[in-house]
Amino acid sequence: MPIPACDLTLSRLGRRATAPSITALMRTALETPGLLSLAAGFTDNASLPVTAVAEALRGLAARAPDLGFLQYGTNAGRPGLRVRIAERLLRHDGRTEEAGDSVARAAWAERVFMTNGSQQALYLAMQTLCDPGDIVLVDRPTYFVFLDLLAGLGIEARSLPVDAAGRIDAAAVRRLLSAMRADGSRDRLKAVYFVGWFSNPSGRTLGADEGRALAAALRAEDCMVPVIEDAAYREMGYAEGAAVVRAGVLSEPAWDGFPRLHAGTLTKPFATGLKIGFGVCDHDAWRAAMLHVKGHQDFGSGNFAQALLEEAIAGGAYDAQLAILRLVYREKRDALHGALLAGGLSARGWRWALPEGGLYLWLEGPAGLDTGGSGEFCRACLREGVLYVPGELCHGDAPPRHTVRLSFGVLNQEGLAEAGARFCRAAAGF
């Protein structure tokens, strides 16, 4: 007798979700012996703060004899850590007086919730704002895992128009919104998203005037939808105080009246294995909805990792680590940049800006080049033994074919020099 077939049909979401685009790149990396990856978004291993983590554990054990730091935490996260985050944010936003005031700090801490990396904050934001078919405006280029996330939820990404220098073009934003109103798609627009500092992938930091012009354009078009500012790299500027360059959306008056979410991470600039991010949201009903969904997803992020971070921030180890990382990543940037120059890439028509923070170089190749994952250029790079992220993955729509993201997070200086040289050798044939 035949066994009856199993009775499983995936949900609409289950059918829509496909492998994150990075998965294919990771598989290629694993399957190619000797490959040097300039694609991986991982961080520097050698500088990981094992001593600081061990000291934080000793500190917790000594000062919290009830061992509560190894116990479940709450859904929103550790109250003390949320206050620390509030304090840092106020300082980064230039509000030093409030940062020193416990009442102001407490008021901000109420808006903070801890997540499994900043990515969970982005996912919760999209789950609670968008139904399938809705639209989100994204910067151009933008964080490609966010695009995967949108696709998985059935949300359409559209690029914020930019000028030739890559700045958001506020007049073009107004025209876009106007056209969306005309074609009926404006009603489906539910949020605006951008990476605020040292962007993945472009390395750009949104200018204060640029942000204000975007807010003004949205306001003028009567389109005060929620704004999501991704601050994953904010603390990874190479110059001390680089995080302060621009106030975030929560402190910028141009965004007053918009529902705002500022999403950040404590672990990209410390120890990524701890995987703790946060959201700060000033719209009560939206934040409550995100917390309810988080309650269903996991009812709280790892309390132990949060406790270690709280201890490391309080004791100064966190800022000491930031000071180290500033030097480490600046040197790594220089190593890759130097290798590309030495390899003659500029002379072949490639262009890139030197970022002042973060982990990435964003390259524009010669017009007409196709850097896509199944193209000739990509194969030439693999033959030379180097991997990159095709820039086309980083666009909500109308992707250009000739851009590339190179990460200098993982490889050491020697590896970066060699990987850069390989990239240039591959590029020489195009």
Instruction: Choose among 197, 191, 253: nearest CA to 226.
Output: 191
Q: Least CB distance from residue 335 to a second copy, whole Å?
A: 19
Q: Least CB distance from residue 74 to a second copy, whole Å?
A: 8
Interatomic CA distance for residues 242 and 57, integer angstroms: 30
C-alpha distances (whole Å) from 86 to each of 5, 71, 111, 306, 405 are: 54, 24, 9, 15, 32
Q: Is the peptide bond before 161 cis (omega within 30 degrees of 0)?
A: no
Q: Least CB distance from residue 186 to a second copy, whole Å?
A: 10
Q: Least CB distance from residue 111 to a second copy, whole Å?
A: 15
CA 386 to chain centre: 24
Q: Least CB distance from residue 164 to a second copy, whole Å?
A: 31
CA 222 to chain centre: 28
Query: What tokens were used for 185?
Result: 């798609």
Cβ distance to a second copy smaller for residue 11 or 374: 11
Cβ distance to a second copy smaller for residue 138 or 245: 138
Cβ distance to a second copy smaller for residue 31 or 97: 31
Q: Least CB distance from residue 202 to a second copy, whole Å?
A: 21
Cβ distance to a second copy smaller for residue 163 or 187: 187
Q: Least CB distance from residue 19 to a second copy, whole Å?
A: 6
Q: Least CB distance from residue 167 to a second copy, whole Å?
A: 25
Cβ distance to a second copy smaller for residue 264 or 343: 264
Cβ distance to a second copy smaller for residue 133 or 316: 133
Interatomic CA distance for residues 313 and 367, integer angstroms: 47
Cβ distance to a second copy smaller for residue 207 or 273: 273
Q: Least CB distance from residue 260 to a second copy, whole Å?
A: 10
Q: Least CB distance from residue 279 to a second copy, whole Å?
A: 13
Cβ distance to a second copy smaller for residue 223 or 404: 223
Q: Least CB distance from residue 91 to a second copy, whole Å?
A: 26
Cβ distance to a second copy smaller for residue 40 or 244: 40
Q: Is the dihedral of CA 379, 384, 386, 391 positive or negative?
A: negative
Cβ distance to a second copy smaller for residue 304 or 430: 304
SS (H, E, C) the chain: CCCCCCCCCCCHHHHHCCCCCHHHHHHHHHHCCCCEECCCCCCCCCCCCHHHHHHHHHHHHHHCCCCHHHCCCCCCCCHHHHHHHHHHHHHHCCCHHHHCCHHHHHHHHCCEEEECHHHHHHHHHHHHHCCCCCEEEECCCCCHHHHHHHHHCCCEEEECCECCCCCECHHHHHHHHHHHHHHCHHHHEEEEEEECCCCCCCCCCCCHHHHHHHHHHHHHCCCCCCEEEECCCHHHECCCCHHHCCCCCCCCHHHCCCCEEEEEECCCCCCHHHCCEEEEECCHHHHHHHHHHHHHHCCCCCHHHHHHHHHHHHHCHHHHHHHHHHHHHHHHHHHHHHHHHHCCCHHHCCEECCCCECCEEEEECCCCCCCCCCCHHHHHHHHHCEECEEHHHHCCCCCCCCEEEEECCCCCHHHHHHHHHHHHHHHCCC
Cβ distance to a second copy smaller for residue 251 or 267: 267
